[in-house]
């Protein structure tokens, strides 16, 4: 029996790749019963996105976003399988899909049709560019990072637009989908009615650009890539030390004064060029030269200890091994071990949401393709005959 704040909810997950599966995994972590619908033969595309592979031979890309789910194979072009898909929607609280806009309607699985059969159903649709004029554009993360402006502000300069090192737009869109689903569930508790939840990659990335997007919308300022520098704060970028780069994130005048004192340059805080944050932004280049002259005298680890002790935000540039080591050292328990039905153990990134009464649970690792086929099909057929 599942536990968690969403226990008792059934999620029909017709999504694949990243945005949708990430969203449904979070719902599963919070207790929902997630039934992942996959194509016979290949299943979700990310099953073949490797290396790397885990000890069970499964692509870690797929395994990392599909725990707490059961898998059933349904060919939506087959009449009998499509009827089972309709029955699954009839018996679900939430349906999540990220097909090309219009696909579910053509299959007879669109929101109007399913809502008429199951008025309590929350139908969450993830698209690349909406269901209107952009419905025929394919929604790939790299493409949206490009056309959505993210690459234009990422990288060493405006001449070298650079993608983020992970499919961040997909992740952000998945999070927005979860927020929309939870809001729709809260409304259903009051009205008894489900509704359509729509999120798109393009709108999600525009929202996620926050201050950069606000600067354009509110003041007409079109930002450009600045490497690791910040357009509105200084010192707030990456600096050289005696052994490796370090991030220094000084957010106010008090922190700046503490920083200057700790590194042995107390007079900088009273220098007219650097008195206030706007002064420091205007004179960023000169300030960086002066700071790095002292920062190169100690290692990044030494500066991390020294500056952190006086409340100055900073840190060495870790690789993932260093990042997980830090999280473990701080007691955040960033990794969980999941045991499969065969007794094998896989390691995964822990859910980041802390709930004091109903914490996330890790009931099963990502399923093999069609692992729960017989059980789920029997359950659906029993519902159709009832």
Q: What is the pLDDT of residues 23-51, one digit of tens each?
A: 999 999 999 999 999 999 999 999 999 99
Residue 318, token pair as written in the block? 């870790």
Task: For the chain of 386 residues, list the mean pLDDT of each consecutive stretch of 10.
Answer: 87 97 98 97 94 91 96 96 97 96 93 97 95 87 95 91 95 98 98 97 97 95 91 94 95 95 95 96 96 95 95 94 94 91 84 94 94 95 73
The answer to whether residue 152 is domain-embedded is yes
Residues in the chain: 386
Residue 179 and residue 367: Cα distance in Å, rounded?
25
How many structural domains does the chain have? 2
Cα–Cα separations (whole angstroms), residue 64 to 46, 53, 146, 155, 365: 10, 11, 25, 27, 9
**Is residue 65, in this structure, part of any structural domain at all?**
yes
Has 337 been annotated as catalytic?
no
CA distances 384 to 23, 83, 119, 201, Å, are 28, 9, 18, 36
Range of the domain at 270: 236-329
User: What is the structure's pLDDT at 272?
Assistant: 95
Q: Are residues 300 and 156 in the same domain?
A: no
Based on the fold, state whether residues 47 and 170 are members of the same structural domain.
yes
**Six-digit token pair at 383?**
């519902």
Pseudo-torsion of CA 243, 246, 252, 254, nearest 10°? Answer: -30
Say if residue 289 is in the same domain as residue 166.
Answer: no
In a domain, 2, yes or no: no
**Residue 217 forms part of a structural domain:** no
pLDDT value, residue 278: 96
Q: Are residues 142 and 287 in the same domain?
A: no
Per residue in 185-196, pLDDT tens?
Answer: 999 999 999 999
Q: How far is it, in rounded angstroms, from Cα 348 to Cα 337? A: 6
Asked if the structure places residue 219 within a domain, the reply is no
- Co-location of 256 and 107 in the same domain: no
- What DSSP character marks residue 282? H
Distance CA 29, CA 197 (A): 20
- Same-domain status, 81 and 198: yes
pLDDT for the residue numbered 129: 92
74 and 147 share one domain: yes
Q: Examine the domain organization and report whether 67 and 25 are in the same domain.
A: yes
Q: Residue 1: what pLDDT?
A: 55
Burial environment of residue 122 by CB neighbours within 10 A (0 to 12, 13 to 18, 19 or more): buried
Q: Considering the domain boundaries, does residue 226 fall inside one?
A: no
- What's the pLDDT score for residue 340? 75
Q: Say if residue 258 is in the same domain as residue 291.
A: yes
User: So what's the pLDDT on residue 343?
Assistant: 74
Of residues 45, 170, 305, 374, which has the active-site annotation? 170
The whole-number pLDDT of residue 386 equals 55
Would you call 5 exposed, middle or buried from its count of C-beta atoms within 10 A (0-12, 13-18, 19+)? middle
Q: Pull the structure tokens for residue 210.
A: 């926050």
- Three-state DSSP class for residue 37: strand
246 close to 303: Cβ distance less than 8 angstroms: yes
Cβ contact 349:362 at 8 Å: no
pLDDT of 344 reads 77
CATH code for position 316: 3.30.1540.10
Give the whole-angstrom CA distance, residue 39 versus residue 43.
5
Same domain, 273 and 139: no
* Residue 120 and residue 31 share a domain: yes
pLDDT digits (tens, 9 = 90+) for 187-225: 999 999 999 999 999 999 999 999 999 999 999 999 999
pLDDT of residue 47: 95
The answer to whether position 69 is within a domain reads yes
pLDDT at 120: 98
Contact in structure between 167 and 143 (CB atoms under 8 Å) = no
> Are 142 and 240 contained in the same domain?
no
Q: Is 345 among the domain residues?
A: no
């Amino acid at each position: 029996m599942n536990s968690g704040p969403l226990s008792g909810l059934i999620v029909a997950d017709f999504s694949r790749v990243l945005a949708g599966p990430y969203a449904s995994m979070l719902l599963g972590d919070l207790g929902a019963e997630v039934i992942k619908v996959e194509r016979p033969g290949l299943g979700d595309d990310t099953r073949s996105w490797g290396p790397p592979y885990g000890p069970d031979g499964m692509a870690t890309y797929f395994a990392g976003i599909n725990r707490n789910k059961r898998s059933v194979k349904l060919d939506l072009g087959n009449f009998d399988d499509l009827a089972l898909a309709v029955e699954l929607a009839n018996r679900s609280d939430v349906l999540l899909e990220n097909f090309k806009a219009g696909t579910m309607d053509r299959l007879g699985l669109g929101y109007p049709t399913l809502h008429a059969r199951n008025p309590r159903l929350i139908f969450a649709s993830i698209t690349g560019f909406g269901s209107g004029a952009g419905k025929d554009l394919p929604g790939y993360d790299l493409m949206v990072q490009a056309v959505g402006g993210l690459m234009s502000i990422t990288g060493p300069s405006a001449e070298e637009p650079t993608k983020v090192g992970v499919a961040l737009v997909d992740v952000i869109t998945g999070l927005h989908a979860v927020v929309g689903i939870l809001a729709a569930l809260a409304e259903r508790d009051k009205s008894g009615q489900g509704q359509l939840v729509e999120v798109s990659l393009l709108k999600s990335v525009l929202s996620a650009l926050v201050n950069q997007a606000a600067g354009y919308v509110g003041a007409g300022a079109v930002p450009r890539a600045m490497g690791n520098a910040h357009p509105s704060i200084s010192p707030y970028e990456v600096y050289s030390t005696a052994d490796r780069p370090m991030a220094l994130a000084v957010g106010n005048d008090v922190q700046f004064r503490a920083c200057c004192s700790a590194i042995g340059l107390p007079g900088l805080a009273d220098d007219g060029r650097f008195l206030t944050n706007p002064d420091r932004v205007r004179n960023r280049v000169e300030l960086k030269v002066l700071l790095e002259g002292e920062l190169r005298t100690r290692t990044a680890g030494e500066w991390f200890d020294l500056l952190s002790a006086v409340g100055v935000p900073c840190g060495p540039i870790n690789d993932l091994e260093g990042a997980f080591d830090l999280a473990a050292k701080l007691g955040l328990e960033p990794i969980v071990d999941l045991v499969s039905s065969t007794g094998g153990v896989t390691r995964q990134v822990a859910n980041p949401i802390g709930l004091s009464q109903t914490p996330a649970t890790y009931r099963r690792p990502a399923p093999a393709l069609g692992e729960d086929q017989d059980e789920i099909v029997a359950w659906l057929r029993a519902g159709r005959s009832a």
